[in-house]
Amino acid sequence: MNDYIGYCGLDCEACEARIATVNDDDSMRTEVAKKWSALNGVTITPEMINCSGCRIPGPKTPFCDKICDIRQCAMAKECETCGSCAEMMTCGKLGAIIKNNEEALHNLKK
């Protein structure tokens, strides 16, 4: 499986945090922090916008590193992604993503 596919099936290569990190783009970090703060109703600083990808060694956003229940669960179960978990289609943690994102579900079924 492509290493840039997150545990949940989302494509980390398309993530604005990863793009800002790879390009070391502080302007983009500032824009993303502002946008994500508004979307999530929390304060996100540009310094938090630093991520190499969910399953790639390196920095992670605070959410991806410590808060994401999907990532924590998959790592605890030692799953490559949620696609290798028998509970994938009934999982409450993963449900909102795969119900609203056909690409993520497709990536997990590969």
In a domain, 41, yes or no: yes
Band of pLDDT at residue 59, cut at 50, 70 and 90? very high
How many domains does the structure of the chain reveal? Answer: 1
What pLDDT was estimated at residue 37?
96
In a domain, 4, yes or no: no
User: pLDDT tens digits for 9-30?
Assistant: 999 999 999 999 999 999 999 9
What is the pLDDT averaged over residues 74-89? 96
DSSP category for residue 58: S
Check residues 110 and 44 and name the one with the higher pLDDT: 44
Give the type of residue at 94. Answer: L
In a domain, 1, yes or no: no
Band of pLDDT at residue 110, cut at 50, 70 and 90? confident
Q: For residues 14 and 93, what is the distance between their CA atoms, to the nearest angstrom?
A: 22
In a domain, 6, yes or no: no
Q: Buried b / exposed e across 74-83, counting CB within 10 Å, b at 16+? A: beeeebebbb
Task: Return mean pLDDT, the chain.
Answer: 95
Tell me which residue range forms the domain holding 64: 12-109
Q: For residues 83 and 9, what is the distance between their CA atoms, to the nearest angstrom?
A: 8
Q: Are 64 and 75 in contact (CB under 8 A)?
A: no
In a domain, 28, yes or no: yes
What is the pLDDT averaged over residues 61-74? 95
Coil vs helix vs strand at 104: helix
In a domain, 95, yes or no: yes
Residue 37, both tokens: 């703060």
